[in-house]
Amino acid sequence: MQHALEGSQAIARAVSLCRPQVVSAYPITPQTHIVENLSKLVADGVLECELVSVESEFSAASVALGAVAAGSRAYTASSSQGILLMSEVLFNIAGLRIPLVLTCANRAVSAPLSIWNDQQDSMAVRDAGWIQLYCADNQEAIDTTIQAFRIAEQCELPVMVCVDGFTLTHTLEVLDLPDQQQVDEFLPAFSFARRLDPANPLSVGTLVSPEYFTETRQDHHQALLDATAAIVQAQSDWLAISGRDTGGLLRCEGPDDAATGILTLGSIAGTLQEAIEEQGDAAPARLITLRAFRPFPEQALRDACQGLERLIVLERALSPGAGGIVGTEVRAALGVMDNPPQIFNFAVGLGGRDVPLEIYTHLLDAIAKGRGTGFDILDLDTGKLPAETS
Amino acid sequence: MIEIRIHGRGGQGNVVAAYLLAGAAFEAGRYGQAFPSFGAERRGAPVTAFVRISATPIRRRCQVRQPAFLIIQDEALLHVPGVLDGLHTGGGILVNSNRTPDELDITTGHELITLPASKLANETLGRPVPNTALLAAFLALTELLPQQALVKALAERFKGDMLERNTRLVERAAGMVPAGRWQEGDHAARA
């Protein structure tokens, strides 16, 4: 049924439809409204769930870990510094193969302090061993949240659903919220085989000696690689129920014969799509929106880039001292193609800088001037740099 | 698609105004999108919010740089740099003020209409929150959506006595501006 909802409200309703038994979180902008809305659903008696208030994100993640280990479906959400304060626990959750769902309301990381959107936070924990799915809009945020629980529980891996802070979390728009029956049909009740149970004692998180550590890492790596199938399956099963295509590993739009491709992730995709459409036949482009960043869908990416002469990778974070994070991985993945496209890599929209509709023409101008062949920040205002570096 | 920018101060219900307008668009069978641009999160700080209304789904998420209309919840903001930037030729400015446009003594190059929205809200709601009155006046001026759609959007947020007071405020404010005045304007953004 269609509603006019704020992104955070919609995500909370989607989480609630998944019948979590434990929600634990600590407020941080721009994640706050998600948990606030969940707390209201609990208070109103809509959602029967243990809502655990904690004193920090470290504890929020720890409570969620323990809840899942004890056999409950659990959920948490955070942003920015909160994600980083959780980071030790995030690695533990993944290593213990705890199927938890977390929403990251993407926000820049301090210092300097910024409450606004970029994707530095989730990118900083990309190696924690979680599945990471990025949402292009709030409808995808609803649908991906629901799929995330199934993917997590099927793969025994945690899933981080990444939604751009403010740009999605604080945007009210017309959204289709599934009904409870649809979600129940898609998502079976959670049953955790390795549940902590006094009647059947087992130890988790024990010391692992060098004799076995390597194999546990390989096992975890393989589980993430294998999760691509579960991500694709969850999408197609949800499509059959909801009628909506959220894209599996990635989404490809635009003409098959376009020479230019643009790859991005998150909410820039919608603006880019309209910008490309405005150019019409004058400058056609294929828009590739990466949904799964972990596991990194190498083969799907190569398939999506077939026939392209150039690919622009546009991301909302960077690795200082190296350059693009997504761009570097895309270069490695496409390097083995017979005729790989030339790759350009830009960061844009850091710390909430607006990404305007002119983004597409700015990109085309920039590559025509030879920028982005390595890595550049597209919307940099050199006039604001200190004199010695400008 | 029509794009609208709302300027106000923290605590004036600026973001709620944007949500209500986009919600009203939804109630009228259109697509609506609304989002804020927060500065410092505190009362009194300038806050900008953006609204898009369209017959087709809205995919762009950039800020509104060239609005067809401006809704200004605090007349002092008219003097803040950037507030009037990008307004379309022929676009209108609706300002919360107890004064007439002439008394405001400001040259904008656009038609400016004033409404004593805080005063009306104080009398009707018991709180000087100008957003509902401004939205009702805006819909009366533009005839963009029926007032009933705004009332439905209000009903999503308010219940009982507060909804009833807001509904009365809608009727009162709508009657205080020239109906359809901005309907025929040659707004380039009108789709």
Q: What tokens were used for B2?
A: 């029509």
**What are B107-134's pLDDT values in tens digits?**
999 999 999 999 999 999 999 999 999 9
Q: Which amino acid is at A344?
A: F
Provide the domain count of chain B.
1
For residues B170-186, average pLDDT: 89
Q: Is residue B22 part of a domain?
A: yes
What CATH number was assigned to the domain covering residues A2-242?
3.40.50.970
Q: Is residue B182 part of a domain?
A: no
pLDDT at A83: 98
Q: Is residue B166 part of a domain?
A: yes
pLDDT at B41: 63
Q: Is residue B191 part of a domain?
A: no
Q: Are the CB atoms for B95 and B114 separated by under 8 Å?
A: yes
Distance CA B67, CA A305 (A): 37
The shortest C-alpha distance from B28 to chain A (Å) reads 11
**What are A32-81's pLDDT values in tens digits?**
999 999 999 999 999 999 999 999 999 999 999 999 999 999 999 999 99
User: What long-range pairs does B156-159 form, CB within 8 A, spacing at least 24?
Assistant: B156/A4, B156/B23, B157/B16, B157/B20
Q: What tokens were used for A368?
A: 């025509």
Share of chain B above pLDDT 70, in %: 94
Q: Is residue B117 part of a domain?
A: yes
Provide, as residue numbers in chain A, all residues whose Cβ is less than 8 Å from the Cβ of B54. Answer: none
Q: What domain range includes position B124?
A: 2-174
Q: What tokens were used for A293?
A: 């960043």
Spans of all domains in chain A: 2-242, 250-384
Residues 6+ apart with CB under 8 A from B186: B90
The shortest C-alpha distance from A46 to chain B (Å) reads 17
Reported as type and span, the H/E element at residue B117 is helix B117-124
**What are A250-279's pLDDT values in tens digits?**
999 999 999 999 999 999 999 999 999 999
Q: Is A57 on the interface with B (CB under 8 A)?
A: no
Residues 6+ apart with CB under 8 A from A259: A308, A309, A310
Average pLDDT of the residues of chain B = 93
Provide, as residue numbers in chain B, all residues whose Cβ is less than 8 Å from the Cβ of A137. Answer: 59
Name the pLDDT band for B43 (thresholds 50, 70, 90). confident
pLDDT at B191: 41
Share of chain A above pLDDT 70, in %: 99
Q: Are the CB atoms for A77 and A37 separated by under 8 Å?
A: no
Average pLDDT of the residues of chain A = 97
A2 contacts B26? CB cut-off 8 A: yes
Read off φ and ψ for residue A162, nearest 5 degrees.
-100, 120
H-helix segments, chain A? 7-17, 32-43, 57-69, 80-85, 87-95, 120-124, 138-155, 180-186, 210-242, 268-279, 298-304, 326-334, 359-368
Q: Is residue B183 part of a domain?
A: no
Q: Please tell me if the domain spanning A2-242 has the same topology as the one spanning A250-384.
A: yes
Residues 6+ apart with CB under 8 A from B32: A4, A172, A173, A174, B21, B22, B23, B24, B25, B26, B51, B52, B53, B54, B58
| Of B62, B21, A381, B94, the residue nearest B84 (C-alpha) | B94
For residues B171-186, average pLDDT: 88
Q: Is residue B101 part of a domain?
A: yes
For residues B85-101, average pLDDT: 95
Name the pLDDT band for B190 (thresholds 50, 70, 90). very low
**What are A94-138's pLDDT values in tens digits?**
999 999 999 999 999 999 999 999 999 999 999 999 999 999 999
Q: Is the peptide bond before A356 cis (omega within 30 degrees of 0)?
A: no
How far out from the chain centre does Cα A166 lie? 15
pLDDT at B188: 40
Provide, as residue numbers in chain A, all residues whose Cβ is less than 8 Å from the Cβ of B60. Answer: 270-271, 274-275, 357
Q: Which residue of chain A comes nearest to B50, CA vs CA? A: A171
Q: Given a cut of 80, is residue A377 above it in pLDDT? A: yes
Under CATH, what is the fold of the domain A250-384? Answer: Rossmann fold (3.40.50)
pLDDT at B45: 83
Name the pLDDT band for B149 (thresholds 50, 70, 90). very high
| Of A42, A48, A56, A38, the residue nearest A101 (C-alpha) | A38
Q: Is A379 on the interface with B (CB under 8 A)?
A: no
pLDDT at B75: 96
Provide, as residue numbers in chain B, all residues whose Cβ is less than 8 Å from the Cβ of A2. Answer: 26
Q: Is residue B65 part of a domain?
A: yes
pLDDT at A17: 98
pLDDT at A389: 61
DSSP lists the bridge partners of residue A53 as A25
pLDDT at A388: 77
For residues B163-190, average pLDDT: 85
